[in-house]
Amino acid sequence: MASENLDETDRALIALLQQDAGQAYAALGKAVGLSAGATHDRVRKLRERGVLRRTTVEVDPAALGLGVLAFVMVDSSAWMGDSAEAFAAIPEIEEAHVIAGSASVLVKVRTATTERLQDVLRRLYAVDGVSGTQATVVLETFFERPPSPGV
């Protein structure tokens, strides 16, 4: 793993880029007291070190017609540690995590309707080793945000 040590300037730049990755290096630099060139250098190094991955856009799920969000506990009768691809093959699944506890995988699912959610559950049962699911439907999302560099 790469050597660490993000100083306060790096963390400030990361926070600013999380808020708006499209702003000019001159503006970024002004906010942290650096020139555009120096800011460019630091951001480039953060990318090279893998601290910053891709720059992307946040999409409104509702605008894509995805109004239903649910978390599904997936119980298994076998070792699920190498089933990442099977879950990734279901596009409605946004996240999949192996967890400690009774269930073995926790997945986050977004669909247009509850009928489509049911269809995802059906496809989950088709994954090797899956013995059961417990879906929890989200009624309201308070917020979803990126990891805070300040913690």
Give 36 or 90: the residue with its C-beta nearer to DNA: 36
Chain Cα centroid distance, residue 116: 22
What single-letter amino acid sits at 118? Q
Give 44 or 97: the residue with its C-beta nearer to DNA: 44
Collapse the DSSP code of 23 into the 3-class scheme (helix H, G, I; strand E, B; otherwise coil) and give the result.
coil
What single-letter amino acid sits at 70? A
What span, in angstroms and rounded, lies between the C-alpha atoms of 98 and 83? 10
Q: Which of 107, 104, 109 is nearest to 129 (CA)?
A: 104
Give 38 or 116: the residue with its C-beta nearer to its own copies: 116
What span, in angstroms and rounded, lies between the C-alpha atoms of 5 and 9? 11
Q: Does 11 sit near DNA (CB under 7 A)?
A: no
Binders of DNA in range 24-43 (CB under 7 A): 24-26, 29, 33-38, 40-42
Count, residues near DNA per rule CB under 7 A: 17
Q: Does 45 sit near its own copies (CB under 8 A)?
A: no
Q: Which of 7, 8, 56, 115 binds its own copies (CB under 8 A)?
A: 56
CA distances from 26 to 9, 23, 59, 106 (A): 15, 8, 27, 42
Q: Does 42 sit near its own copies (CB under 8 A)?
A: no
Q: Which residues bind its own copies (CB under 8 A)?
A: 1-2, 4, 6, 14, 17-22, 49-66, 69, 71, 81, 83-84, 87-88, 91-92, 94-101, 105-106, 110-112, 136-151
